[in-house]
Amino acid sequence: MSFRKDFVWGAATAAFQIEGAWNEDGKASSIWDEYCHEDGHIADNSNGDVACDHYHRYKEDVKLMAELGLKAYRFSISWPRIIPDGTGAVNQKGIDFYNNLIDELLKYNITPYITLFHWDLPYALHLRGGWMNPESSTWFENYTRVVAENFGDRVKHFITFNEPSIFIGLGYAQGAMAPGYKSSHKDVLNMGLNFHLSHGKAVGVLRELVPDAEVGITFATSPAIPVTAADEQASYDSYFWSGKNGFWWSDSYWVDPIVFGKYPEKLLEECADIMPKITDEDMKIISRKIDFIGVNIYQAKYVGEWERKPGTPHTELSWDVYDKALKWGVKHYTKRYKLPMYITENGLSCHDWVSMDGKVHDPNREDFLHRYLIGLKEAAEDGCDVRGYFQWSFMDNFEWANGYNPRFGMVYCDYPTGKRTVKDSAYWYKSVIEQNGENL
């Protein structure tokens, strides 16, 4: 037993990180546009104005995806590109772009997976309070309706949100990403509730308008890896901790309400004086049935007698390498939530450059992916319902607060010219796809 025969092999991107065309054809500003345009927020003082220019070069990019054998492509919709004010009038040119992208993917038999929200909140809605505004879940519900009505005839796989722990935790609690706020625990809990309601209402819209769709959500997670078999239960318990201190990093805070229809007891106890009022009707909306959980896994931690040693392997971003991160992320999530799973992001940044022979040689990425995918294969062999794997990222891109220095792509992007160069590891990944992972 290995990967299922219909296993989905793909790659992922996000609109703000690759599209560019930040103010073209009716697109309005997002919180990330505003954040980047103010000095001091981005490591290399760059912005997403042009990025990879995917907005103008999508046909070239999709052709490359096909040449590399991708079966699926996960991308996000830019909310301010299709509804510039966040609510109200729809921008047809924005709709046209995504219609053209979807049609191009289908022309090459690449299955589109849409992420509704990958962090680029319309700035117009930010000015109205953003996720603090109780109306935000209705805004998101109406936005989802526009997406479903325009693309649901061809797109049958939807992810409501990408990484709430990051866009709320780092954006609104710790101030490290757009919009750069350091809010109170009480305010973050209110935003968390509005996020959960937004997700639930989006699920309702998709069930109504695209009844044959698969609907899920993606979480950022750092798996707890047991050092020995005796540490397995302790690693599971550590993984799903909850409580007031840094609750936005708690997997159970984000996932339990969606799957179980209730917040973790310890969180409710420790935050009793600051929790927003949550009704039974709210919980019914939040816990509408989903078809899968997506997890984005880059880092992890060990549970048991292990000490980080000098010289521990790490990536260009100084993230440590954990061979069994995918295995234990999937195993622990499966044990707790018992739902089909996708790895919706996994990859690493390397010190990539175009060599003198005109190619990009990245043996570290190939080795990293090989190690992590072996772990994912072991999880599948252990009986976990793993449906697919999306490498992050299809191409080098704007890596949020880190700017353009980190390179995660299968394809190298020369930003001044936009020239694409396929990296060696992408050809290796193509061979994995062709053999459905049997060569791992």
Q: Which residues are catalytic?
A: 163, 345
Cβ atoms 111, 124 nearer than 8 A: no
Hey, which residues does 315 pair with through a beta bridge?
Answer: none
C-alpha to C-alpha distance for 287 and 217, rounded to whole angstroms: 12
C-alpha to C-alpha distance for 220 and 340, rounded to whole angstroms: 16
Write out the two tokens for 74.
Answer: 């996960």
- 140 CA to centre of own chain: 18
Hey, which residues does 294 pair with through a beta bridge?
Answer: 218, 342
Hey, which residues does 78 pair with through a beta bridge?
Answer: none
Residues 6+ apart with CB under 8 A from 379: 326, 327, 328, 330, 331, 334, 386
- 79 CA to centre of own chain: 16
C-alpha to C-alpha distance for 405 and 379, rounded to whole angstroms: 33
C-alpha to C-alpha distance for 423 and 354, rounded to whole angstroms: 9
DSSP assignment of 36-78 equals HTSTTSSTTS--SSSTT-HHHHHHHHHHHHHHTT-SEEEEE--
Write out the two tokens for 14.
Answer: 């996000």
3 state SS of 360: strand
C-alpha to C-alpha distance for 178 and 303, rounded to whole angstroms: 32
Cβ atoms 111, 66 nearer than 8 A: no
Hey, which residues does 293 pair with through a beta bridge?
Answer: 217, 341
C-alpha to C-alpha distance for 117 and 49, rounded to whole angstroms: 19
Place of tokens 């890896």: 225
C-alpha to C-alpha distance for 394 and 152, rounded to whole angstroms: 24
Cβ atoms 306, 230 nearer than 8 A: no
